[in-house]
Structures are given as C-alpha cells and as structure tokens.
Amino acid sequence: MRSTHTQLAGYDSVTSAKRCTQKQMILNLFCGPDVKLTRQDIADRTNMRLSSVCGRVRELIEADSLRVRGSVKCVATGVHNETLGLPAAN
C-alpha cells in the first residue's frame, strides 16, 4: 500500500514524544490477558482520533506489544472488526 504525501506529512507532523504517549495510553487499556478491544473501542476510551489509533496500533503490533486476537461483528454495520490484545504469556 502506498501512502500519499498528505498522509506522510501528517505522520511526520506528530512528534515522536506524542506517538510514544499515545502508544502508552493504548497499552494502559489492556490491564490483563483477557482484555480484547477493537480499534474503535480504543478510540472511544482514549478520545483519540481513529486514524491515530490505527497508526499507533500498527506500530504496537509490529513491535509485538499487541496482537490480533480475533474479531467481532459490528451490530450497526455487520462488518467484522479485529479485536486486539496483549501477546500470550509464555
């Protein structure tokens, strides 16, 4: 997938410190191994824009701090949304 210049400029405009704070806010929601949330759940609970949540979640998945743990069907749209959770303990 290719990013547009606008997307790249928007990403670059967010400071590294802000991205770290946003990632920590997201991780703080997962207080146990059984907690599973969708990206929309995270956006609602943190008051972050969904686009920011999606970017930070992608970074957390790449860093193996979060994992896709299943999916749930949205009652309103019928679309399946991924649920996220902490990696399973070894």
Going from the N-terminus, what domains does the chain have, and what CATH number goes with each? 5-85 (1.10.10.10)
Q: Which of 34, 84, 46 is nearest to 62 (CA)?
A: 84
pTM of the model: 0.78
Q: Residue 53 burial by CB count (10 A; 0-12/13-18/19+): exposed, middle or buried?
A: buried
Give the pLDDT score at 18: 74
Taking only the tens place, the pLDDT of each residue in 55-79 is: 999 999 999 999 999 999 988 889 9
Q: Report pLDDT for 55.
A: 94
Ranges of the chain whose pLDDT falls below 50: none
Mean pLDDT, rounded, of the chain: 87
Task: Report whether 40 contacts 50 (CB < 8 A).
Answer: yes
